[in-house]
């Protein structure tokens, strides 16, 4: 029986779905702790390197457990380690898992980004090798995209790969690579042809992070933890067999990764703040204040809309259909919500909450600070607005002077 007594999920369900729901409940009951036993204020905010590693490995272990019991990759083919299910399997599992303290954390984000990319752009042999290892967490992939000179303008990247027989020799630098110090594989964008315009000379590689020549340097944040890294590549040899998509055609799989990243960030269940804001309003004796009530209703409505949009996009992604709306809208929406909920949390918590070190204060601080990372990672708000205006609304494109120039002739600072 689910620990969530108020759930109506499952009423009137067809037998096949009811059977799957019962199996998911039994699996969760046997392997996880009910959420009600865990503090609602728990935050994923690491204060040391050990803390970050421990959280990463805990997420990876949970992914392995799901895989071993047939609950990882519910819509992936059984031949690739999945369950061969439909969107309803994902929906039912998500409804049940919401009652339990379970998360694959970082691994979930890479599966969301790389899984659909492999299904769309990889060869059958590559799928047979990488997809089961991705779904089990055996291969944990970091994203080696951004560079000191290529963030928003990702297609301007400069890390070079030169062919040498059946290998590429890669040299360059990446930055802001989340969890790269814990991952054993990386998805890497490299420049393979500098003589053509920037989007046309990029190749997408999968790289074993233990390859000689890779150095990962954690970047220490103000919190004391290192969630990001610089990654230096010095004549790293990567087999040509690790190219996903076409040589010089890496922009297509990169776009698939980025659009799934936006969808994942937007539909992540960790973005809901309304329950805690209501508790804060009660504690502050302001639940009857009409202005506070209006702002709570605003956060509630926006979080609900986000959940519905996220569910629609993720259902399409899992069915390998084009998303029903541009994922940039989700990313922008979640960043905007974070500002509203963070402001309200600080106002309800009072000034003491901004400096306190009890768990509620720490949650409020994380809510306040989280607005910055969420509006940058996976593409900044400004870039998402450009995407929306150009891709979704068909507005005139931003002026660019480097689209037809060979990459090597584009002036760089």
Ligand X SMILES: Cc1cc2nc3c(=O)[nH]c(=O)nc-3n(C[C@H](O)[C@H](O)[C@H](O)COP(=O)(O)OP(=O)(O)OC[C@H]3O[C@@H](n4cnc5c(N)ncnc54)[C@H](O)[C@@H]3O)c2cc1C
Three-state DSSP at 142 gives strand
Whole-number minimum distance, CB 276 to ligand X, in Å?
21
State which residue, 103 or 143, has the beta carbon closest to ligand X: 143
The answer to whether 59 contacts ligand X (rule: CB under 6 A) is no
Is 178 near ligand X (CB under 6 A)? yes
Concerning whether 68 is annotated as a catalytic residue, the answer is no
Say whether residue 93 binds ligand X (CB under 6 A).
no
Minimum Å gap between C-beta 385 and ligand X is: 8
Among 158, 296, 329, 383, binds ligand X (CB under 6 A): 383
What residue ranges in 176-324 does DSSP mark as E strands? Answer: 185-191, 202-208, 214-219, 228-239, 243-244
DSSP class per residue in 92-114: HHHHHHTTB----THHHHHHHHH
Q: Which stretch binds ligand X (CB under 6 A): 15-23, 90-98, 297-305, 373-381?
A: 373-381
Candidate residues 237, 373, 402, 405; the one interacting with ligand X per rule CB under 6 A: 373
**Residue ranges in 319-358 assigned as alpha helix (H):** 327-349, 351-355
Decide: is 177 part of the binding site for ligand X (CB under 6 A).
yes
Stretch of 61-69, 320-328, 354-362, 380-388 contacting ligand X, by CB under 6 A:
380-388
Stretch that binds ligand X, among 79-87, 120-128, 320-328, 369-377 (CB under 6 A): 369-377
Minimum gap (Å) between residue 230 Cβ and ligand X? 11
202: left (phi over 0), alpha (psi -120 to 50) or beta: beta
The interface mask with ligand X, positions 392-411, x = CB under 6 A, is ------x-------------
- 386 part of the interface to ligand X, by CB under 6 A: yes
Answer for the pair 154, 198: CB distance below 8 angstroms, yes or no. no
The torsion angle over the Cα atoms of residues 293, 299, 302 and 306, rounded to 10 degrees, is -140
Compute the least distance from the CB of residue 138 to ligand X, in Å: 20
Contact 362, 293 (CB under 8 A): no
Residue 314 burial (C-beta neighbours within 10 Å; 0-12, 13-18, 19+) = buried
> For strand 141-144 and strand 185-191, is the pairing parallel, antiparallel, or unpaired?
parallel
Which of 96, 227, 261, 367 is labelled catalytic? Answer: 261
Does 146 bind ligand X (CB under 6 A)? Our answer is yes
Find the helix or strand (DSSP H, E) in which 170 lies: strand 167-175
Q: How far is the CB of 175 from ligand X (least distance, A)?
A: 7
The full DSSP string for 244-265 is ES-TTBTHHHHHHHHHHHHHHH
202-208 and 185-191 beta bridge pairing: antiparallel
Task: Confirm or reject binding of residue 223 to ligand X (CB under 6 A).
Answer: no
Contact with ligand X (CB under 6 A) among 380, 390, 408, 410:
380
| In contact, 222 and 184? CB cutoff 8 Å | no
State in angstroms the smallest separation of the CB of 384 from ligand X. 9
Does residue 379 bind ligand X (CB under 6 A)?
A: yes
Q: Residue 304 corresponds to which tokens in the numbers above?
A: 């609900």
Our finding on whether 143 is near ligand X (CB under 6 A) is yes
Contact residues for ligand X, defined by CB under 6 A: 143, 145-146, 151-152, 176-178, 373, 376-377, 379-380, 382-383, 386, 398
**Which residues are identified as catalytic?**
261
């Amino acid at each position: 029986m689910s620990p969530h007594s108020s759930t109506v999920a499952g009423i009137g369900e067809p037998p096949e779905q009811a059977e799957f729901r019962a199996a998911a409940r039994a699996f969760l009951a046997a392997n996880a702790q009910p959420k009600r036993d865990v503090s609602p204020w728990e935050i994923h905010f690491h204060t040391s390197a050990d803390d970050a590693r421990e959280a990463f490995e805990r997420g990876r272990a949970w992914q392995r457990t799901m895989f071993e019991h047939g609950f990882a990759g519910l819509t992936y083919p059984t031949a690739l380690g999945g369950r061969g299910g439909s969107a309803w399997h994902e929906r039912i599992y998500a409804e049940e898992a919401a009652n339990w303290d379970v998360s694959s954390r970082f691994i979930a984000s890479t599966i969301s980004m790389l899984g659909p990319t492999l299904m769309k752009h990889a060869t059958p042999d590559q799928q047979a090798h990488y997809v089961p290892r991705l779904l089990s967490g055996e291969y944990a992939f970091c994203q080696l995209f951004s560079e000191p000179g290529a963030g928003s303008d990702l297609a301007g990247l400069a890390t070079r790969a030169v062919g040498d027989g059946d290998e590429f020799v890669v040299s360059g630098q990446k930055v802001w690579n989340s969890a790269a110090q814990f991952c054993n594989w990386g998805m890497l964008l490299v420049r393979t042809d500098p003589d053509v315009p920037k989007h046309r000379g990029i190749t997408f590689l999968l790289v074993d992070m233990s390859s000689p020549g890779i150095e990962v340097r954690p970047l220490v944040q103000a919190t004391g933890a290192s969630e990001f890294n610089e990654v230096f590549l010095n004549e790293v040899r990567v087999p040509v067999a690790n190219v996903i998509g076409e040589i010089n055609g890496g922009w297509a799989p990169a776009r698939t990764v980025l659009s799934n990243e936006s969808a994942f960030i937007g539909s992540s269940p960790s973005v809901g703040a309304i329950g805690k804001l209501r508790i804060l309003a009660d504690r502050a004796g302001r639940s009857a204040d009409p202005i506070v009530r209006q702002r709570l209703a605003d956060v509630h409505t926006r979080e609900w809309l986000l959940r519905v949009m996220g569910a629609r996009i993720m259902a399409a992604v899992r069915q390998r259909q084009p998303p029903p709306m541009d994922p940039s809208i989700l990313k922008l929406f979640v960043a905007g919500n974070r500002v509203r909920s963070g402001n309200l949390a600080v106002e309800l918590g009072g000034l003491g909450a901004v400096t306190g070190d009890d768990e509620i204060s720490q949650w409020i601080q994380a809510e306040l600070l989280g607005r910055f990372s969420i509006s940058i990672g996976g593409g900044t708000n400004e870039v998402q607005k450009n995407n929306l205006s150009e891709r979704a609304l068909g507005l005139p494109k931003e002026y660019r002077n480097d689209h037809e120039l060979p990459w090597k002739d584009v002036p760089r600072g």
